[in-house]
Amino acid sequence: MSFKKEKLGKRYNKSEVTQSYLMISPMIIGFSLFTLYPLILIVKWSFTNYTGFGTPEFVGLENYIRTFTQDPNFWEAILVTFQITIAKLGIGIPLALVIAVLISTKSKINTVLRTVYFVPSIISISVIGLIFYILFEPYRGIVNQMMINSGMIERSLPWFSNPTMAKGLVSMASIWNTFGIDMVLILTGLLSIDKSIYECAQIDGANRAQQFFKITIPMLAPVLQVVVLMAMLNAMKITDLVLVLTNGQPGGKTEVVMTYIYKYFFTGELSAVQQYGYASSMSVVTAIILGIITVFYLKSSAKKTEIY
């Protein structure tokens, strides 16, 4: 073995370092090819009027000016995305938390329930979109038929023609798809909390509600931080569910930012001509917005994860 001293005084084995770099090389190559290179290409295209064929022509900041000042539909899509995200966080996370607490004790029924609640997370998004469409479609949808037969309503509700109801459906389908995985992550955190803390609290006279809010929630803070961040990012990137369930209808009112960008990129459905350059600029702006939200969230939630 040969040793060499570094400036910091650490000793390392040259062959071990070489081996380390070789071990991480597949990841670096993959990252460079499939993440870094496409990223550079997108930023480059965002300054051009590239339509997918011919040579991209440099247009400076024209695409960004169009994004910020001439495309209200893009900002409407951002707003719809935020609305769906807030609905998902406001309903999905508390639901996952409550269910995780309810099934955290060891029992056969809880083991079955954990599996049942997790199943929606492994169903294909396209299938979920179809299921919800069949449930809520106005002509012979199960939900409408049940409500009519029970006397709650006289005529079918226009679930897909009312923008608010359509957005509600997208949120509902998304929550149903992901709350299982959130529940499992929270459950993992719950099971790692030392039971002796609860015993001490009980001795001190704390009731269940007090134990939940004063012990469970604070102790779950690190896990909740990650769960909320993942849920937020997944909600803001929602694409296939919207494409299958509503395709942005009615009249583009359920178009989210990712489907809006997708249609400019791949299908030319929104513009007849694929506009790679403009779609790239929207992608960059969206990535910056997501980045700002992520940094803001992590900074604001950092102190809350300091547990004793």
Partner 1 sequence: MKKLLSFIAVIAIATTLFTGCGEKKNTASNSSAKSDSSKVETISWWGNYGGQKAFIENIVKEFNDTIGKEEKILLEFKNFGGDYNDVINAAAISGQGPELHKINNMMAKHASNGWILPLDDVPGGKDIIAKYNKDELKSTSFSLNGKTFGVPMQYMTYRVLYNKDVFKNAGIVDENGEAKEPKTWQDIYEYSKIITDKGNGKVFGFGAPLKWDSYAQNGLATQATSATGVWRGFDFNAGKYNFAAYKPVLEIMTKMYDEGLFFPGAEGLNNDSVRAHFAEGNIGIVTGASWDVGVYNTQFVPKGDWGVCQPIYLEGQTKYKEGIKSEAIVVLGKPAEKKIDKAMKVYEFIAGEDFFVPAYENSSWIPSSDLIAKATKEPDRKGFEDFATMDKGINMLEEPTGVITVKGDNYNSVFVKLILGLEKDIDKSLSDLDNRYNAAFNESDLNIDDYMSKDFKIELE
Site residue total, partner 1 (CB under 8 A): 43
Which residue's CB is nearer to partner 1, number 239 or number 247?
247
State which of residues 5, 8, 22, 150 lies at the interface with partner 1 (CB under 8 A).
22
State which of residues 9, 54, 60, 151 lies at the interface with partner 1 (CB under 8 A).
54
User: Is 135 an interacting residue with respect to partner 1 (CB under 8 A)?
Assistant: no
User: Is 138 an interacting residue with respect to partner 1 (CB under 8 A)?
Assistant: yes
DSSP for the chain?
Answer: --EEE-TTS-EEEHHHHHHHHHHHHHHHHHHIIIIIHHHHHHHHHTTB---SSS---B-TTHHHHHHHHT-HHHHHHHHHHHHHHHHIIIIIHHHHHHHHHHT-S--HHHHHHHHHHHHHHHS-HHHHHHHHHHHH-TTT-HHHHHHHHTTS-SS---TTTSHHHHHHHHHHHHHHHHHHHHHHHHHHHHHTS-HHHHHHHHHTT--HHHHIIIIIHHHHHHHHHHHHHHHHHHHHT--HHHHHHTTT-STTTT--HHHHHHIIIII-TTTSS--HHHHHHHHHHHHHHHHHHHHHHHHHHHGGG---
Which residue's CB is nearer to partner 1, number 8 or number 272?
272
User: Is 305 an interacting residue with respect to partner 1 (CB under 8 A)?
Assistant: no
State which of residues 42, 43, 44, 49 lies at the interface with partner 1 (CB under 8 A).
49
User: Is 145 an interacting residue with respect to partner 1 (CB under 8 A)?
Assistant: no
Give residue 216's identity as a one-letter amino acid code. Answer: T
User: Is 35 an interacting residue with respect to partner 1 (CB under 8 A)?
Assistant: no
With contacts defined by CB under 8 A, name the span among 101-109, 174-182, 270-278, 293-301 that binds partner 1.
270-278
User: Is 239 an interacting residue with respect to partner 1 (CB under 8 A)?
Assistant: no
Q: Residue 189 CB, nearest distance to partner 1 (Å)?
A: 33
**Site track 60-79 with partner 1 (rule: CB under 8 A), x = hit:** ------x---xx-x------
∠ CA 207-212-217 to the nearest 5 degrees?
Answer: 155
Q: Residue 96 CB, nearest distance to partner 1 (Å)?
A: 29
State which of residues 253, 289, 293, 301 lies at the interface with partner 1 (CB under 8 A).
253
Q: Which residues bind partner 1 (CB under 8 A)?
A: 15, 19, 22-23, 25-26, 29-30, 49, 51-54, 66, 70-71, 73, 133, 137-139, 156, 158-161, 163, 246-247, 249-253, 263, 267, 269-273, 275, 278
